[in-house]
Every structure is written in C-alpha cells, then in structure tokens.
Amino acid sequence: MQITKRQNIIISNTKTRDFLADAYYPETNEKLPLIIFVHGYKGYKDWGAWNLMAEKFAEAGFFFVKFNFSHNGTTIEDPKNFADLEAFGNNNYSKELSDLNVVIDHFIKNEKVDDQKIVLIGHSRGGGISIIKTCEDIRINGLITLASVDILDRFPKNNAFENWKKEGVYYVENGRTKQQMPHYYQFFEDFKNNEHRFDVERSMEMAKAHVLIIHGTNDESVSMKNAEHLHILNPNSELYLIENANHTFGTKEPWEENNLSKDLNEVIEKSIEFINDKIVNE
C-alpha cells in the first residue's frame, strides 16, 4: 500500500496565526475517515514517535492529521523546537480550540475525507481540548483520549497564584531543553472568562460521540484517576488501561528507533480496532 506523507502544510487561522500540519494517508479513490491528533502541553506534532504513529494509522486505511497549535512555541521555520517562547507564553485554551476548528475545516474542505467519520485523538492536555471540541461540534463521531486530564484548571495555587497575578508571568522549566517556559497571566484570564465552556467534566458528560479512554497505570504526569473519572462522567465510554505504561506510553523525544514502543503500539492497535468497530463499520 502506497502511503502519502505531506509534511509542514501551512494552515492559516485569522484569529491566531499560521501553523503547520502533517497528513498521512493511503493512495485511494475512496473517501477516508479523518483522524486528527491533538498534542498536549509542551508537545508538538513531530515529538517522539508521533511520525511512526501517523504511518501506522495511514496503513490502517485512515487519513491521519497531526498539527502544531499556533502558540505551542514552535514556528513555521522551526517546527521541532520551542523557538518562540513569547508565543508559548501567550497561548490559551481559546486559541487552541480555534486552531483545532480550523484544522477540521481545512481537511474536510480540501481533502478526500469522509466528513461523516471524524475522530479526535487527544494526548494529555490535548485530551481535555478534544473533549470540549467533541461536545461543541456535532461533526465529531469519535473521541479517543490518551493520558488525558479531566480538568483544565491546572494553574498555580495560593501564594504562587498571587505572585503570578502580581508579576504577570510565571516560568516552568522544560526538563528536556532546560528552557524557562513563560506563562502570562492572560492564560488564566481567558480561562476565567470562558469557565463554563472550558468545563471538561460537563463536556464529557454531554459528549455524543463514541468515546475510548486510554491511560497508563504508571502515568507520572496525569494520574490514572483522571481516566477513571472521565469514564464515570460518560458511562457509555470504554476505559482501557495499559499496565505499567507511563505518560508517553514508553516513548520519548528524540525517538531514534525505527519501531514503536510496545505500549504506544498497543495504544494504536486498540484505537484502530475501536474506530473500525464504532465508526467505520457501524
């Protein structure tokens, strides 16, 4: 099977700024289910083993898209590094939801995809964003969360919060690059101004799509309790736990292997089975 890989497609969002997306798909005359991968905090489309993941979904017969949020800190010119920390500091959930909407619109309009078969796959914070989008957008038929958060109110508390409000910025060190990543206070203001919209729990309860929740039992960043809570909120969802898997399912940046990790391979195989069962063949 011939797989087409189109990388660094420029997507324009008039509400944010231009950003990049990749599309992986098999050569066919048929309209394919559209699968969109939504990265998380300090993530980007080329992180770790995401390219290998994209290939595997394409080989399974899907039109697979991954993209960089416009304000994730990467740039058009340098998509694999946090080259624009000012943009990173000015990111917020409104911008991420706007970008995700533009991605969906772009690939429905410009590609041979089946607009009745749209699935979001969100990792970590991207899971929370994907849950909200699924609640808001009736076009989305399937939702798969990978190590997802169950709330988006993940801001500094108490003295740290007061200091953030006073200073207007707080920094988090990136453990891999050692960069000091800024977070401007506008992030919290955007959250407060849209608190009802950004209620992941409410969105999960109201989501009409087929839902698969995948989480590792050894997740060091987002507790497995988040997955169990999401499943309680949406009893029609399927909860799939991977024993001893960590937050990135055994992968890291850079990923120099030619093969997927055992855990990420299990994630993808379970996801493909779910999409075929619930969306393609329903």
Average pLDDT, the chain: 97
Nearest by Cα to 47 from 91, 89, 4, 80: 80
Could you tell me the pTM of the whole model? 0.98
Q: Are 87 and 68 in contact (CB under 8 A)?
A: no
Using CA atoms, how far apart are residues 89 and 226, in angstroms rounded to an integer? 26
Q: Please, which contacts does 171-176 make with residues 24 or more away whose CB atoms are closer than 8 Å?
A: 174/42, 174/82, 176/253
- Residues in a beta bridge with 63: 34
- The per-residue pLDDT for range 12-62, each reduced to its tens digit, is 999 999 999 999 999 999 999 999 999 999 999 999 999 999 999 999 999
Q: Are 122 and 132 in contact (CB under 8 A)?
A: no
Please say if the pLDDT value at position 1 is more than 90.
Answer: no
Average pLDDT for 64-92 = 98
| Res 174: pLDDT | 97
What does the DSSP assignment read for 28-83?
-SS-EEEEEEE--TT--TTSTTHHHHHHHHHHTT-EEEEE--TTSS--SS-TTS--
Please list the alpha-helical segments (H only) found in 142-223.
158-167, 186-193, 200-206
| Res 110: pLDDT | 79
Please say if the pLDDT value at position 67 is more than 80.
Answer: yes
Domains of the chain: 3-152+198-280 (3.40.50.1820)
Q: Count the residues in the chain.
A: 282
- The per-residue pLDDT for range 197-228, each reduced to its tens digit, is 999 999 999 999 999 999 999 999 999 999 99
Using CA atoms, how far apart are residues 82 and 138, in angstroms rounded to an integer? 34
| Res 111: pLDDT | 82
Q: Quick one: pLDDT band at residue 72, thresholds 50, 70, 90?
A: very high
